[in-house]
Amino acid sequence: MDPQEARRILEEERERGLSMIARADSSEALEAAKVGVLGRKSPFSQVQRSLGSFGPEDRKRLGMAANELRDALQAALDERRRLLAGAEEARLLEGDRIDVTLPGRRLRTGSLHPLTIVEDEMVGIFTRMGYRVEEGPEIEDDWHNFEALNIPRDHPARTMKDSLYVEIPGLLLRTETSAVQIRTMESQDPPVYIVAPGRTYRREAVDATHLSVFHQVEGLAVDEGISFADLKGTLETFARALFGPDRKVRMNPDYFPFVEPGCQVAVSCFKCDGTGCAVCGNGWIELLGAGMVHPKVLENCGIDAERYTGFAFGIGVERVAMVRHGVSDMRMFVEGDVRFLQQFQGAGV
Ligand code: PHE
């Protein structure tokens, strides 16, 4: 090319370059514009490469003009780059913007199961009286579930009708938490004051008041000089803590192989105060079985029955939960209906 053409190109390139740079609307577009305006294949670069073939006068003048143009385009590129970076930053910030004045989204917290709430409440009453919490296995052996509890071989509780056996011979799902009495007395010397909450299993036809998987809270106290009066006082304290200070306790004779004497314990109804209503029927709510630990049971666990006496009780958790919360059908506790369970939100804790 000759000097004239070179001058014309430099003039055109100023206008073309500035407008390309001005039109670039992203960092990528600006990079492309830079290549087009100042890159190796650009008309500007061709002019630069031709300078050497011009006479000294033209080389000097056009060289200066080319430098001036390059500086101008470079300045326009820098300016545009700053502008685009600012805009991109603003766009990101806009996307991330949060409205701190909006009300927060409430987390849906779960709640404890009603049976857990009631069980905790019951266990809490006893731990405040000084009892420790014990646990035992849900799969038990014949000795702990029957034999040591003085349940003879021909007792109905040992037939297939009442018990759920596992495939390993001699093992079954425990039919009552009383098995924990044995495990506790075998492993520690008196004085013993424990409660043992847990799951129990029986072969039941399930209905409004029976489940085949249910819960009990077992209690056991073994010490020197423990009497039936201690049992009564303890259960009265329990019933009043659970159902109110005016409750009365009634004990009727009953038979359990591992206690002597044994009794069925009821508390005067907290709704009608013992006159009879829909909650209780006849004014009394039957809550649990109890009695003085049978001397044979103490001896089975290696405890001197001449020196020590004790009492035991077993409370049905479902039963207590039903009367406490006015639930008419025990099956509701295990059906998993969220509408039912949600009503206990915040009841325990
Ligand atoms: N284990 C008995 C039951 O399941 C309850 C009970 C416990 C009775 C302790 C007396 C003493 O019915």
Query: For residue 35, what are the domain limits?
Result: 3-95
Position 88 confidence tier, pLDDT thresholds 50, 70, 90? confident
Considering the domain architecture, whether residues 242 and 146 belong to the same structural domain is answered as: yes
Question: From the alpha carbon of 313, which atom of ligand 1 is closest?
Answer: 9
Residue 100 inside a domain? The answer is: no
Query: In the predicted model, what is the mean pLDDT of residues 268-273?
Result: 87
Considering the domain architecture, whether residues 82 and 131 belong to the same structural domain is answered as: no
pLDDT at 160 over 70: no
Distance 256 CA to ligand 1 centre (A): 7
Position 157 confidence tier, pLDDT thresholds 50, 70, 90? confident
Residue 201 inside a domain? The answer is: yes
Considering the domain architecture, whether residues 83 and 121 belong to the same structural domain is answered as: no
Considering the domain architecture, whether residues 85 and 122 belong to the same structural domain is answered as: no
Per-residue tokens: 101: 């004045």
Distance 111 CA to ligand 1 centre (A): 30
Q: Atom 9 of ligand 1 has which residue's CA nearest to it?
A: 313
Of 178-192, 231-245, 273-287, the poorest mean pLDDT is in 273-287
Considering the domain architecture, whether residues 235 and 294 belong to the same structural domain is answered as: yes
Question: From the alpha carbon of 262, which atom of ligand 1 is closest?
Answer: 10
Residue 137 inside a domain? The answer is: yes
Residue 274 inside a domain? The answer is: yes
Q: Which of 68, 95, 122 is the last residue of a domain?
A: 95
Percent of the chain at pLDDT exceeding 90: 76
Distance 53 CA to ligand 1 centre (A): 115
Question: From the alpha carbon of 311, which atom of ligand 1 is closest?
Answer: 11
Best of 146, 176, 185 for a ligand 1 pocket test (most atoms within 8 Å of beta carbon): 176
Q: Kindly report the backbone phi and psi dihedral angles of residue 304, in degrees, each rounded to the nearest multiple of 5, phi listed first.
A: -70, 110
Considering the domain architecture, whether residues 118 and 80 belong to the same structural domain is answered as: no
pLDDT tens digits along 114-156: 999 999 999 999 999 999 999 999 999 999 999 999 998 888 7
Considering the domain architecture, whether residues 197 and 282 belong to the same structural domain is answered as: yes
The pocket around ligand 1, CB under 6 angstroms, is made up of: 176, 178, 256, 259, 262, 289-291, 312-314
Residue 10 inside a domain? The answer is: yes
Query: In the predicted model, what is the mean pLDDT of residues 156-169?
Result: 84
Question: From the alpha carbon of 314, which atom of ligand 1 is closest?
Answer: 7
Query: In the predicted model, what is the mean pLDDT of residues 56-67?
Result: 91
Distance 263 CA to ligand 1 centre (A): 9
pLDDT tens digits along 207-220: 988 999 999 999 99
Considering the domain architecture, whether residues 9 and 157 belong to the same structural domain is answered as: no
Question: From the alpha carbon of 200, which atom of ligand 1 is closest?
Answer: 4
- SS3 for the chain is CCHHHHHHHHHHHHHHHHHHHHHCCCHHHHHHHHHHHHCCCCHHHHHHHHHHHCCHHHHHHHHHHHHHHHHHHHHHHHHHHHHHHHHHHHHHHHHHCCCCCCCCCCCCCCCCCHHHHHHHHHHHHHHHCCCEECCCCCEEEHHHHCHHHCCCCCCHHHCCCCCEECCCCCEEECCCCCHHHHHHHHHCCCCEEEEEEEEEECCCCCECCECCEEEEEEEEEEECCCCHHHHHHHHHHHHHHHHCCCCCEEEEEECCCCEEEEEEEEEECCCCCCCCCCCCCCCEEEEEEEEEECHHHHHHCCCCCCCCEEEEEEEEHHHHHHHHHCCCCCCHHHHCCHHHHHHHCCCCC
pLDDT tens digits along 3-24: 999 999 999 999 999 999 999 9
Q: Atom 2 of ligand 1 has which residue's CA nearest to it?
A: 314
pLDDT of residue 110: 81
Q: Atom 10 of ligand 1 has which residue's CA nearest to it?
A: 290
Distance 214 CA to ligand 1 centre (A): 14
pLDDT at 279 over 80: no
Considering the domain architecture, whether residues 20 and 152 belong to the same structural domain is answered as: no
Distance 335 CA to ligand 1 centre (A): 26
The CATH number covering residue 315 comes to 3.30.930.10
Considering the domain architecture, whether residues 187 and 254 belong to the same structural domain is answered as: yes
Position 349 confidence tier, pLDDT thresholds 50, 70, 90? low
Q: Which of 47, 66, 95 is the last residue of a domain?
A: 95
Considering the domain architecture, whether residues 122 and 50 belong to the same structural domain is answered as: no
Average pLDDT over the chain, rounded to an integer: 92
Residue 225 inside a domain? The answer is: yes
Distance 281 CA to ligand 1 centre (A): 23
Residue 108 inside a domain? The answer is: no
Distance between CA atoms of residues 202 and 173, nearest Å:
8
Distance 293 CA to ligand 1 centre (A): 11
Best of 251, 256, 259, 296 for a ligand 1 pocket test (most atoms within 8 Å of beta carbon): 256
pLDDT at 348 over 70: no
| Backbone torsion region of residue 210, taken as left when φ is above 0, otherwise alpha when ψ lies between -120 and 50, otherwise beta | beta
pLDDT of residue 209: 87
Distance 227 CA to ligand 1 centre (A): 18
Query: In the predicted model, what is the mean pLDDT of residues 287-304?
Result: 97
pLDDT of residue 189: 96
Per-residue tokens: 189: 């010397």
Name, in order, each residue with C-beta under 8 angstroms of 250's C-beta and a sequence gap of 6 or more: 265, 266, 267, 268, 284
Considering the domain architecture, whether residues 284 and 147 belong to the same structural domain is answered as: yes
Distance 328 CA to ligand 1 centre (A): 23
Residue type present at position 270: F
Q: Burial letters for 227-236: b for 16+ Cβ neighbours within 10 Å, e otherwise?
A: eeebbbebbe
Residue 104 inside a domain? The answer is: no
Per-residue tokens: 312: 């035991």
Q: Which of 95, 124, 139 is the last residue of a domain?
A: 95
Chain position carrying tokens 């013993």: 192
How many distinct structural domains can be found in the chain? Answer: 2
Best of 178, 260, 288, 319 for a ligand 1 pocket test (most atoms within 8 Å of beta carbon): 178
